[in-house]
A and B are shown apart, each in its own frame.
Chain A
């Protein structure tokens, strides 16, 4: 996914490292620091859950692709036959990008075939994927 956790954390440093021009030093900078603080808080969630979410999603996508291969073609089996051996975020995201491209192609084929059962299974998978990647905003009081 983009931006990645390292992007966010490096960005949090970079966006406050440079001194602002005088006209941006007050309310704007205060707002910026507030957003950086919020990003840091969300980054803590991603640090805790991001790796397992990617490992789970990659495995789930491989299973769906492999299961569909007998009906929709060996290309989907081939897309899902790798396994994750490098557990860095960047390596898992690279594998995930390839798997997601295959999932998109599979879903298009499923829709074209009118395969409702498999279509619904993919939609349910989307729900689980989105939930696994979620970031939970704390209840910030309105002012």
Chain B
């Protein structure tokens, strides 16, 4: 039975009406879930949808329930697709999955390209950092996400985050990595101030994880698979990590100057940006990245070398983050 046929059986039961599937096609988006676009024809009505299914191996081991709850939490508050159904058992589709509405007419930039936003970089940058600020402004109490996530104490946000990703490196490392080890030790020696607020952290808010219309408008913020509660500076620091800069040293995320991005975020979030705290989270971002790429390298090997996304993540991006880490460590000591 094909995937389309299985999906028809599942959605016929879910919608309580005969459902046909048309145009089922896997798309490259999302490295931690298999992502498919399709039309569901339900009672003659065409419903454009996206299927996100757990892979057999992935870049990041994440909880699809939290990702689904994040869509539920922010649909209507931010440009986020409407979630339709989550099945943690997998049913006819064999592996856990969820389905959400499809946003057509948008594109996601590859982080490995130069100037992907062209003359709309300024407008995209303003919208990008304002949307992140709006997420950080949202009180998590009362959100569907709050039912399934633990809020760390403000003073513990850094430790929870660092412990998590340091453990990932401990578990998945196949070759010793002295640079990231030095960064982890430095982060522990000099922790940041307590978070000014504990908020929803998207976890992977960056260029490439949103759809834009090519005219300066953000259509959908995607890839919430690493969502959690924590210090909102974690997201801000990740968004401006040099890895996501499209090789543009004058602008963050290949969009707008750093100072402008921080000012937009501050205005939208209502939260201050403590330079000392942000510097800590920026070094942390490179550690987190290196942890993700370390897992990718392990998954690439364990999966029989068949996923080239895991290859480029575990190889090219890992080496770029080593460069970024080394540069940050030297800058913090006034050596460059």
Question: Residues of A with Cβ closer than 8 Å to B?
Answer: 1-3, 7-8, 10-12, 14-15, 18, 21-24, 26-28, 31-32, 35-36, 38-39, 42, 93, 96-97, 100-101, 103-104, 107-108, 111, 119-120, 122-124, 126-127, 129-131, 133-135, 137, 139-143
Contacts and interface: CB of A to CB of B under 8 A. Distances in A.
Given A23-B3, A100-B177, A130 B322 contact: yes
B336 interface: yes
Q: Which residue among B4, B315, B327 has the maximum number of chain A CB atoms within 10 Å of its CB?
A: B315
Contacts of B292: none
Contacts of B4: 23
The main secondary structure of chain A at its interface with chain B is helix
A11 B114 contact: no
B313 to A, nearest CB: 10
Interface of B: 2-4, 24-28, 36, 107, 109-110, 112-118, 174-179, 181-182, 185, 189, 246-247, 297-298, 300-301, 304-309, 311-312, 314-316, 318-320, 322-323, 325-327, 329-330, 333, 335-336
Contacts of B325: 126, 130
Contacts of A93: 175
Contacts of B36: 23
B311 A11 contact: yes
B330 to A, nearest CB: 5
B114 A123 contact: no
Nearest to A103: B178
A71 B36 CA distance: 59
B175 A1 contact: yes
Contacts of A122: 182
Contact of B308 (A2, A12, A23): A12
A23 B25 contact: yes
A98 B309 CA distance: 29
A26 B25 CA distance: 7
A143 to B, nearest CB: 7
Contacts of A10: 305
Contact of B247 (A1, A14, A137): A137
